[in-house]
Structure 1
Amino acid sequence: MEYNETLQEELVRLSEELEEQTLRLRHEIHQCPELSFQEFKTSRLVMRELDRIGIPYEKSPQEPGIIAVIDSGRPGKFLMLRADMDALPIQEKTGLPFGSQVPGVMHACGHDVHTANLLAVGELLFRTRERWNGKVKLVFQPAEENGGGGREMIKAGLMEEKPDACFALHVKNGTSGLIYLKQKYLSSYSDGYTLTIHGRAAHSSMPEEGVDAIYIASAVVSALHGIASRNLSPMAQATLNVGTIHGGSAPNIIADQAVLGVMMRNVSRESRDVMRHQIETLAKGITESMGGTCDIAFRAGYPAVYNDVEFTKTVEQAFRSNADRLYENMGDGRPEGWLITDLDPMLGAEDFGFFAQEAPSCMIFVGTGGDAPMHNPGFQVDERYIKLCTRAMAFVAAEYLK
């Protein structure tokens, strides 16, 4: 079959055609935000749209996730595209005409954009499936914000057939139209500890008969805060925070228990291992040296997002070779310095890290304006640049599956 336009030109044209529809879907999702693992209305909207397009799908065993497959019918690579669907427990204060209709719940991190965008990308790829090879799996994931929905979908069998690569994007407040792309570590490991220090209760008039758990806890806290500065390279990106301390029952009683809530973030696996070893060694050693004992409970959080070098090079090639097409008929056009590749890893967590542990992966950020940061009641998106998200993801698929 002969075509009068290239695949990339067709993707641009279709993105223009679907722009208003994508914005309507985004508004519909934004008005009905749902918290982690409760995204059943959003899931039904996704199924409704997939039925309309004609893309086959199935419900994930981890509800309410949805998995859809677009197969070209020809051998080739297998690409997985992911969007998260959940909102946050925040009262919206944007004044938007399509603002949240659910008190205390808001799409303050752009997942409404991600979901509507992946539906648009799916329609673009479905309508052009005669022009690329292999297959694409669309993953509409619950519970990125709280609960590790990506991890749970993988446990439920999402990766039984391993994709050759996984790709995702996230909107970002700030300058509209910028694309943020980074090789290797993009985000950090986010893990927690609960340290329960046991002493022996006594009256404050007879401290020699007790073992003061609060006093021990204060020594442990001081030691923990020295881990990063004395056990990691000054160039390592890591933080450790003791966020909660609970202990004691009355001011005249020597406390027999104190519980510390600890959060650590590490960009690299190596610094994470060092920090884990030091936390456990210091907590146990200090406690026992002061006459108490310590129960240590580790909670593994989200792993770091690691952008595979070779796949990320493919993503960058897709953008650079289509720089003009990406910004055609869009906002103020292509901004100067539009592709940023020298950004530092963020110490925030993102559960796309679970995908990156299973297959070569890449996540990017797309600047969509707004003064308020993510997870803020005033968070907004410059909707002129949602089309940039659609084209970016579609161009990556076209480049990878050509």
Structure 2
Amino acid sequence: MKRQSEIKLFHWHEQLLEMYEQMVEWRRHMHQYPELSNQEIETSNMIAGILSGFGIDIRTRVGGMGVVGTIKGEKPGKTIALRADFDALPIQDEKEVPYKSKVDGVMHACGHDGHTATLLAVAKILNDHRDQLSGNVVLLHQHSEESLGGANEMIADGCLDGVDVVFGNHLWTPIPTGTISYTKGYTTSSGDGFQLKIQGKGGHGSSPHETVDAIIVANQIINQLQLIVSRKINPQKTAVVSVGSFHAGNAANIIADSAELKGTVRTYDKEVQMQIEDEMNSIIKGICAAHHAEYEFKYYHGVPGVYNHAEETDIFCSRIKATLPEFKLAEAPPLLVSEDFGRYLLERPGMFFFTGAGNQNINAIYPHHHPKFDFDERAMVNAGKAMLSIVHHYLVEKAESPLADHVRL
């Protein structure tokens, strides 16, 4: 016989499924009217309006464009935060679907519209059943994830005040709908950037001895940067150094007097991150000195890696197995993408999971940030069910059973 708390969760899941068409409607509206990072005025207003319509207390313009909703349970207890991002990307939508972006050069190519629609539906159900909650739920609707600044700005504006634990989700097309993946420890990497300007001495292509060839200097630097990972970093550690942009010269018979490089660095360990920065400084300084070139090097520290806390990850896995046995729960290797949810996990315990949203039958096969990106909208229900299960554990199950924190995997 099911316990009373299990029956409550079953009804929550059923009610979420009944909201599927509404979730699709919200998601497709946002998909047609996407807004770039720090420009999400209408999206922010839409979220605030929907939450207010549910009777949820909200705070707007949090850290800029963020919206924070608070659902207060009838009884005291912990406060759990759930996060969804809502900014879009500067990409032209090339899909041929009825909900194709109507904004030239801007589209939701990473699933943030789905994250938002999911959390709105979850908010409706939890608010309708707040009398069953022993504790509070904080809804973190975050702006500017793609520019990797929104989380920091919202934290600085107090979005985590009073929060005990925080969870986030990403709809993920590389894995099929019906699968939920997780990683203990680091699940995404830090994302740093760099820019190097080299100043040489230009001249005629027939007289290279009278010049300082900026292209030659830049090429030698690029070659040496690639040796950092293979020859300087412990092979048991993970790191990537990539030069993604190289601009120099404008004529066939002129030796370039300047060159500019831009690139990215991805790491998990802080020590490795610092070592790579130091090695880059040493390489650039040495090569430029050898060729009598001047330079300006800027290294930008981006977001930290998302580090899933062990206890919260175990609790999440236990609850998914127990309450959603129809899902495939898979432990996945860490990714070298960047995600600013890691900022929240530096402040509070919690974890970040990936909900499968790939489906070949509906052409949801393209990678994130692709102009034809789309996802299986049924994945929104799956992500929402997972969120409801974790809230149920902290704010219902634990109140009924003091042993609910005893996780068996």
Does the TM-score normalized on the shorter chain lie above 0.5? yes
Q: How does 1:84-123 map to 2 (within 5 A)?
A: 84-123=85-124
Matched, 1:323 2:313: no
Give unpaired runs (5+ residues) of structure 2: 359-363, 399-409
1:294 aligned counterpart, secondary structure: strand
1:201-243 Cα distance to aligned partner (Å, 9 max, x none): 4555554444333322222111111111001133322211112
Select between 181-190 and 288-297 the one with higher mean Cα deviation: 288-297
Q: How does 1:285-296 map to 2 (within 5 A)?
A: 285-296=286-297
2:352 aligned counterpart, secondary structure: strand
1:120-146 Cα distance to aligned partner (Å, 9 max, x none): 111121122222222111011111122
2:243 maps to 242
Select between 124-133 and 203-212 the one with higher mean Cα deviation: 203-212
Matched, 1:392 2:393: no
Q: Give 1:60 shift.
A: 2.8
2:329 maps to 339
1:356 aligned counterpart, secondary structure: helix
Q: Give 1:319 shift.
A: 0.6
TM-score by length of 2: 0.88
1:181 maps to 182
Q: Distance in 2 between matches of 1:13 and 1:205?
A: 76
Paired residue for 1:360, among 342, 345, 349? 349
The alignment yields a C-alpha RMSD, in angstroms, of 2.2
1:6 aligned counterpart, secondary structure: helix
Q: Give 1:46 shift.
A: 0.9
Rate the CA distance shift 1:23–1:251 in 2: closer, same or farther, 3 A.
closer
Conserved? CA contact 1:196–1:259, under 8 Å: yes
Q: Distance in 1 between matches of 2:254 and 2:378?
A: 62
1:134 aligned counterpart, secondary structure: strand
Conserved? CA contact 2:114–2:377, under 8 Å: no
Q: Distance in 2 between matches of 1:218 and 1:141?
A: 40
1:211 aligned counterpart, secondary structure: coil
1:8 maps to 9
Amino acid at match of 1:344: P
Rate the CA distance shift 1:287–1:315 in 2: closer, same or farther, 3 A.
same
Conserved? CA contact 2:122–2:387, under 8 Å: yes
Paired residue for 2:374, among 359, 372, 380? 380
1:300 aligned counterpart, secondary structure: strand
Seq. identity, %: 36
TM-score by length of 1: 0.90
Q: Distance in 1 between matches of 2:213 and 2:61?
A: 50
Conserved? CA contact 1:84–1:111, under 8 Å: yes
1:171 maps to 171
Q: Distance in 2 between matches of 1:293 and 1:360?
A: 46
Conserved? CA contact 2:242–2:264, under 8 Å: yes
Corresponding pairs, count:
388
Q: Distance in 2 between matches of 1:126 and 1:197?
A: 57
Conserved? CA contact 2:64–2:153, under 8 Å: no
2:405 maps to none
Amino acid at match of 2:330: I
Matched, 1:348 2:342: no
Q: How does 1:148-227 map to 2 (within 5 A)?
A: 148-159=149-160, 161=161, 163-173=163-173, 174-204=175-205, 206-227=207-228
2:42 maps to 41
1:170-224 Cα distance to aligned partner (Å, 9 max, x none): 1111411100011110111111111222333455555444433332222211111
2:276 maps to 275
Q: Distance in 2 between matches of 1:30 and 1:252?
A: 49
Give unpaired runs (5+ residues) of structure 1: 325-333
Conserved? CA contact 1:178–1:367, under 8 Å: yes
Rate the CA distance shift 1:89–1:200 in 2: closer, same or farther, 3 A.
closer
